[in-house]
Amino acid sequence: MSAARLTAGLAALGLDLDAAAQQKLLAYQALLLKWNRTYNLTALRDPAKVLPYHLLDSLALLPFVGDGDLLDVGSGGGMPGIPVAIARPDLAVTLVDSNSKKVAFLTQAAIELGLPNVSARCSRVEELARPEGYAQITSRAFAELVDFIRLTRNLIAPTGRWLAMKGVYPADEIARLDAADLGVKVEAVHPLSVPEVEGERHVVIIVPTSVPVTA
């Protein structure tokens, strides 16, 4: 049963979410499966895998999420932004994706799930503008680190952080990022242990070291 699996998964992650949040997570899972039949939101077709590979995997980011507005780049079906927003109703979360059908789903999901802290934008990330920047920018399987940072460099606040979700330890990507001279540094790489998920998972914490140069 999904409810029991979710409760067990949250316990394994060391997370304590109230019953209302858990119900919203299950409602989100149901919406994702329903819309996926038409809108191709995720390549996962097995309903049993959605909970661990999308919900729990997204929630594994929570210990590294601080305060301040969060931008989820290439959000697709809303991962990790929507599960994080459900768990952190105090956090303003912006979801951005260039696919209008996916953004239609994200907008409807925020309405149906009662998430006033979530907004969805249909845009290429490089076309976004926010003078004050975001305190936190995350992505899951959006692009390799150099491209992720380059495309969002003008969107990070001076004291902000990038939270890049990856599979295996991205040693080559980190080396290319170090060589790219983008005025950032890798602060830490943390392994993630996600219940029922096979393979390695990591989150790469990146911080700016200089003010970006704009053309």
The three-state DSSP-derived secondary structure of 14-55 is CCCCCHHHHHHHHHHHHHHHHHHHHHCCCCCCCHHHHHHHHH
Hey, what long-range contacts does 210-214 have (CB within 8 A, 24 or more apart)?
210/183, 211/158, 211/183, 212/153, 212/154, 212/156, 212/183, 213/183, 214/154
What 3-state class would DSSP assign to 198? coil
CB atoms within 10 A of CB 213: 8
What are the mean pLDDT values of the chain's consecutive 10-residue runs (215 residues total)? 90 96 96 83 74 94 98 95 98 96 95 98 95 96 93 96 97 96 96 94 96 56
Predicted confidence at residue 214, as pLDDT, reads: 52
Predicted confidence at residue 47, as pLDDT, reads: 73
Spacing of C-alpha 210 from chain mean position: 24
The answer to whether the annotation marks 140 as part of a ligand binding site is yes
Predicted confidence at residue 152, as pLDDT, reads: 97
Predicted confidence at residue 215, as pLDDT, reads: 42
Predicted confidence at residue 142, as pLDDT, reads: 86
The answer to whether the annotation marks 161 as part of a ligand binding site is no
Predicted confidence at residue 50, as pLDDT, reads: 85
Predicted confidence at residue 15, as pLDDT, reads: 97
- CA-CA distance, 202 to 189, in Å (whole number)? 7
DSSP-H helix ranges across the chain: 2-13, 19-39, 47-50, 57-59, 81-87, 100-112, 145-152, 171-179
Domains annotated for the chain, with CATH where assigned, are 2-208 (3.40.50.150)
